[in-house]
Structure 1
């Protein structure tokens, strides 16, 4: 699976923006479709890299085939004793009812096979619609498992049918589908082996070694449990020289369910073709069938011929051989030959349709994305490309450099904290024009609407964007949720039927009414006096930033606090802090602390607070006090000190116990005391999701994203010793009043 591409939005999103186009008239970038007519595309990739991939895939088939040949040698006497004439006679004795049952079971099995592709396409965020992905997956699997070499043949079929995707993408999808099937197959095999009654195992290979059956069964169940639980703790696991990203828990459960439907239906199709009373019971056939199916899949032979039969004969009693192999022959026709023929007809029809000029699916999606990035945002979906009505077509990818229009939206946002968008981690879900949007963050299990929507009109904006956010999450096989939303947006979410829970309390101050001399700020005055006696002086940085010194302080702070938190919290980066309002604290000529603020026309929001170990007591209080004085001079209505976990005393039930434990974490009490010294107002922020179960999933996933964030995008990290430009940066204060009153000494 992949995240949204990180693309720099460095040009206006206005109607007059010019789109750079290639020689075929398509926008430059990864959105340009293949100029070669679909009818003339070859089914075999011609690039050397693709040929090397095919060669490696062929070599992977060697080991399973050698193992099967070895087993065949061991069973050569039993194979030689088979009566071929009797087998064909038994095939002729299969009645119409058996054929009908086998066909019905095959339809169910192939339905689940198609759902594999639909799930994987969502997981990897391709522009292919789920229904089309399912049809393509059915055709690819029907062809690949019949002709053999599934990884190569399946990728080729998908590449031919999914004309909006590259061969590398199709190869990746095929590999993920195959891996997901193996995962589901092994888990289902484990469940079957553990649940198999001992009295039904007569004649099975495990009859004399129940310990082996139990060991293999529990291994399958343990693997399934590990893959289901692991995403809650780590988004990726080390594998050889790379890291394997874990699918979300609900996706893994869906894959296991589909594997169960697929394999049980396929086994029933085979069992239905065995004459009554002349073959094994279904509970005896099922574990043998699953093992044989796995052997045939891993070997990659056409229809699994050879490995499947040898494993099946090795697992089952000898007196079932004739009628069982007759059922296998008939099953090959129903389960392999017939679907492969239908898939071939579908490919021919698909090719003829494309040759008549139909546009490839996915091209419209790419053109809509290119238009968005270049400023041509349609007012209505009908004005865009065919797939522009999908939620992902209105998703602006993450970028650390924002367009002027987006900067203007953030400037007039109700919540200045939306400046977090400049960190370059999150995208924006737009309304289809340049007037509103919602920060969209991605975790391993969720698509998160972060903070409140911004733009105009504010009334009903969240209600309008909720369906689009939900559709985007569904398309990406994730759970939709909202994090740190205000009570106003929480009300709209509840009206839409979503569940909401308190997730934080935000401290905020009205600068116009701020006075340090009030009785409830006596503790603040003591801190300010301590800082003043220690020679601390504060100032607002309006010239070049001392980035090297700020980096040193930040690194010391990060080391002392065991890393920075991320996701909804800012992290130090030169390009990021250069777009903020920064206050510096000096002792003599030495920088000892700094604080940064998101600024807007209505609100300022505290973001980063970093202090050196030697900073005197009261230093951070002095910085925030200086910011409040400036905010009052600029007539800013609201300055937020950011959020804290809610107090357990205000909650009940399980939520109270959870937050009581979290509030005991080192640093929370001190941070609460620091903010309380300013006697702020407190506002509850909420987490929302479609159901209480989704609330639980979102809570775990978001907590992991905050405490273990991935590295910042490269564009955001090019600042400290890695940039070619000078290490000092000027703050962009053009949006503030031109004349700033002199700061009062603190």
Structure 2
């Protein structure tokens, strides 16, 4: 008996799902007949015959505009799902799929089938995802548009309250989607559209439904005087009910809602207009869509190479492809934040793709800065994101202004020149005082051995985070073994214990300060002696520039960590302006908000790619081992022999001090 129930439950459920839209249509038609007196076919024919030719032509034009907007809507959805099919054929397939599905009903299934048939490069799963996204986002956009029109053009007082409630809900949902761009569903992660995509979807949806509502308004027969704005509000609500019903063509729910929300108007005239509207907006596009779908399928795959000249030569490389000889060592940050090297022909940039922005860090790794703006803008458009340059130099900022981008100075970078650096002079008086304090406290600083004392360093990092409320990320490094293994690290020792360390990004001609971790009770000057030792090591290796990284330098910078600026000022650096550039100020605001979110709410620390190591013969390996042992002996020789602990002991001691 159990098996019989199991066998019959499936078919019954499918039958109910199939019959439900038809039952809804029949129920609405019955309610409509009970509410108003339905006109005869002769009366409807007479009213349709009175429509002028210009009304039919104008309604057809409005319908064409509506479906053109729907094709653009599909393009945004393709870019969000990264199908690689954003082109004219994809837009035409979207228009045909919507025309076919809205006439036949069962939009999720019929729309997915139509897109799959018309786009050979689209898999069945992608087609279903695309159709589902289009349907869900369109309903959300329609609800928002209805809310706005209900507030602005309320036919009755209660419309304003309902519209306001819809807008508040929409605003809250938008904020949540920004703060939590992905929704975990078991093993799946549902990624919300970016704010840029939401704006585009809302714009195309508004154009679509406004044009469709205008087509209905244009087909009103003589004697039916309804304001255009009033009819639009009513049509938006009726359209939502028709879509939710999944009834073929929305038949029943659409008519019932229009007549219910316009009780004082002529029911015969409204039904005649709705019949004409169905001929123009449903039957004609559906006939064209069926003709397109009956054509032989094209044999070629639509995933052809990009034809956009601004993206010719575009190539994505992993972060490990960062060249050793590059203008900015700090681009090494992409080894940890999920970034990559993006090549546009001969121009390469260190890039990070986030849910809202496509940001290129600093100056291009190679190529002319003036050649980056058009490719970056097209690249971001393919992802529905905002293009952004972050912490670029004055030269690149000037090129951005010439390209018509908005530019804002956001930071000042502290730069010293190791080969000519000296502690003498009045400008380094404060530095000399700090160094004396560190030396009197018995601090010694050494380059870390190839095998880092990670347990002690991690314990110190935890102490530092406990005091400072966590570590920022994305544009700033965080503690992680592989990440630090690819940097130059200096350790500060006192009484045989590590009390501080700094790490630096390295390139052929520049080093850049990254992590600074100091024990809460470390002697005054610990950070200064660490950085001073790094400058001396850079001078020994003939490194031309050493960046102490940037500090905020804008209107509100005075309230943002003034201690960091004082610390770097002790080295009397050369301050260089750093800028942010976006195509417009509105995009700049969105990019800033996203960067703030990424910095203050970074995701979990993920292991960086291990640093590239040159393979050598056994003799080379023995030499490396000898060097590592020599470094370890040198550190031990400078430490207090009676208080020198191994890594496990120091880690346990540090953990006891955690709050």
TM-score, length-normalised on structure 1? Answer: 0.75
Matched residue, 2:168:
222
Query: Residues 99 and 523 from structure 1, CA distance in 2 versus in 1: closer, same or farther, beyond 3 angstroms?
Result: same
Q: Distance in 2 between matches of 1:65 and 1:717?
A: 57
Query: Residues 560 and 341 from structure 1, CA distance in 2 versus in 1: closer, same or farther, beyond 3 angstroms?
Result: farther
2:558 maps to which of 634, 642, 663: 663
Q: RMSD across aligned C-alpha pairs, in angstroms?
A: 3.4
Q: Distance in 1 between matches of 2:598 and 2:312?
A: 22
Query: Residues 152 and 617 from structure 1, CA distance in 2 versus in 1: closer, same or farther, beyond 3 angstroms?
Result: farther
1:508 maps to which of 415, 421, 427: 415
Query: CA shift at 1:303, angstroms?
Result: 0.7
1:551 pairs with 2:458 = yes
Mapped contact 2:22–2:248 kept (Cα < 8 A): no
1:602 maps to which of 509, 516, 520: 509
Query: CA shift at 1:486, angstroms?
Result: 1.2
Mapped contact 1:446–1:480 kept (Cα < 8 A): yes
Query: Residues 683 and 116 from structure 1, CA distance in 2 versus in 1: closer, same or farther, beyond 3 angstroms?
Result: same
Q: Distance in 1 between matches of 2:20 and 2:269?
A: 31
Q: What are the residue-to-residue correspondences of 1:154-233 with 2, within 5 Å?
A: 154-196=111-153, 201=155, 206=156, 210=157, 212-226=158-172
Query: CA shift at 1:239, angstroms?
Result: 8.6
Mapped contact 1:574–1:717 kept (Cα < 8 A): no
2:520 maps to which of 603, 613, 616: 613
Q: What are the residue-to-residue correspondences of 1:303-452 with 2, within 5 Å?
A: 303-317=249-263, 320-349=266-295, 351-354=296-299, 359-362=300-303, 364=304, 385=305, 387=307, 391=311, 394-396=314-316, 399=318, 402=320, 406-407=321-322, 409=323, 411-423=324-336, 425-432=338-345, 436-452=347-363
1:86 pairs with 2:43 = yes
Q: Distance in 2 between matches of 1:58 and 1:123?
A: 34
Query: CA shift at 1:59, angstroms?
Result: 8.2
1:523-573 CA distances to partner (integer Å, 9 max, x unpaired)?
222222222233322211132112222222223322332232222222222
Query: Residues 625 and 482 from structure 1, CA distance in 2 versus in 1: closer, same or farther, beyond 3 angstroms?
Result: same
Matched residue, 1:266:
212
1:186-217 CA distances to partner (integer Å, 9 max, x unpaired)?
122122222226xxx4xxxx5xxx2x322111
1:118 maps to which of 58, 75, 78: 75
Query: CA shift at 1:687, angstroms?
Result: 1.1
Mapped contact 2:36–2:267 kept (Cα < 8 A): no
1:560 pairs with 2:467 = yes
Q: What are the residue-to-residue correspondences of 1:721-736 with 2, within 5 Å?
A: none
Q: Distance in 1 between matches of 2:315 and 2:162?
A: 45
Q: Distance in 1 between matches of 2:610 and 2:329?
A: 25
Query: Residues 66 and 612 from structure 1, CA distance in 2 versus in 1: closer, same or farther, beyond 3 angstroms?
Result: farther
Matched residue, 2:61:
104
Matched residue, 2:497:
590
Matched residue, 2:364:
453
Mapped contact 1:236–1:243 kept (Cα < 8 A): no
Query: Residues 154 and 59 from structure 1, CA distance in 2 versus in 1: closer, same or farther, beyond 3 angstroms?
Result: farther
Mapped contact 2:24–2:247 kept (Cα < 8 A): no
Matched residue, 2:91:
134
1:696 maps to which of 589, 596, 613: 589
Range 235-244 or range 264-273, more displaced: 235-244
Query: Residues 60 and 594 from structure 1, CA distance in 2 versus in 1: closer, same or farther, beyond 3 angstroms?
Result: farther
Mapped contact 1:531–1:618 kept (Cα < 8 A): yes
Query: CA shift at 1:420, angstroms?
Result: 1.7
Mapped contact 1:573–1:717 kept (Cα < 8 A): no
Q: Distance in 1 between matches of 2:12 and 2:442?
A: 71
1:710 pairs with 2:603 = yes
Query: CA shift at 1:230, angstroms?
Result: 5.8
Query: CA shift at 1:595, angstroms?
Result: 0.9
Query: CA shift at 1:392, angstroms?
Result: 8.6
Mapped contact 1:392–1:472 kept (Cα < 8 A): no
Unaligned runs of 5+ in 1: 1-53, 365-384, 649-655, 720-729
Matched residue, 1:12:
none
Q: Distance in 2 between matches of 1:179 and 1:139?
A: 18
1:294 maps to which of 240, 244, 252: 240
Q: Distance in 2 between matches of 1:537 and 1:333?
A: 86
Report the 3-state secondary structure (helix = DSSP H, G, I; strand = E; otherwise coil) of the residue aligned with 2:298: helix
2:432 maps to which of 525, 542, 554: 525
Matched residue, 1:641:
548
2:484 maps to which of 577, 585, 591: 577
Report the 3-state secondary structure (helix = DSSP H, G, I; strand = E; otherwise coil) of the residue aligned with 1:595: strand
Query: Residues 525 and 60 from structure 1, CA distance in 2 versus in 1: closer, same or farther, beyond 3 angstroms?
Result: farther
1:575-598 CA distances to partner (integer Å, 9 max, x unpaired)?
111111111122223222211111
Mapped contact 1:524–1:678 kept (Cα < 8 A): yes
Q: Distance in 1 between matches of 2:12 and 2:400?
A: 53
1:251-297 CA distances to partner (integer Å, 9 max, x unpaired)?
33332222222112111212222211146443443322221111111
Report the 3-state secondary structure (helix = DSSP H, G, I; strand = E; otherwise coil) of the residue aligned with 2:469: coil
1:496-538 CA distances to partner (integer Å, 9 max, x unpaired)?
2323221110001111111223332222222222222333222
Mapped contact 1:110–1:262 kept (Cα < 8 A): yes
Matched residue, 2:202:
256
Name the larger-Rg structure.
Answer: 2
Q: Distance in 2 between matches of 1:310 and 1:221?
A: 25
Mapped contact 1:235–1:444 kept (Cα < 8 A): no
Report the 3-state secondary structure (helix = DSSP H, G, I; strand = E; otherwise coil) of the residue aligned with 2:486: coil
Unaligned runs of 5+ in 2: 1-10, 612-620, 640-659
Query: Residues 559 and 300 from structure 1, CA distance in 2 versus in 1: closer, same or farther, beyond 3 angstroms?
Result: farther
Query: CA shift at 1:140, angstroms?
Result: 1.3
Aligned length: 612
Report the 3-state secondary structure (helix = DSSP H, G, I; strand = E; otherwise coil) of the residue aligned with 2:475: coil
Q: Distance in 1 between matches of 2:293 and 2:23?
A: 33
Query: CA shift at 1:244, angstroms?
Result: 5.8
Matched residue, 2:383:
476
Q: Distance in 1 between matches of 2:600 and 2:609?
A: 19
Query: Residues 637 and 464 from structure 1, CA distance in 2 versus in 1: closer, same or farther, beyond 3 angstroms?
Result: same
Query: Residues 295 and 563 from structure 1, CA distance in 2 versus in 1: closer, same or farther, beyond 3 angstroms?
Result: same
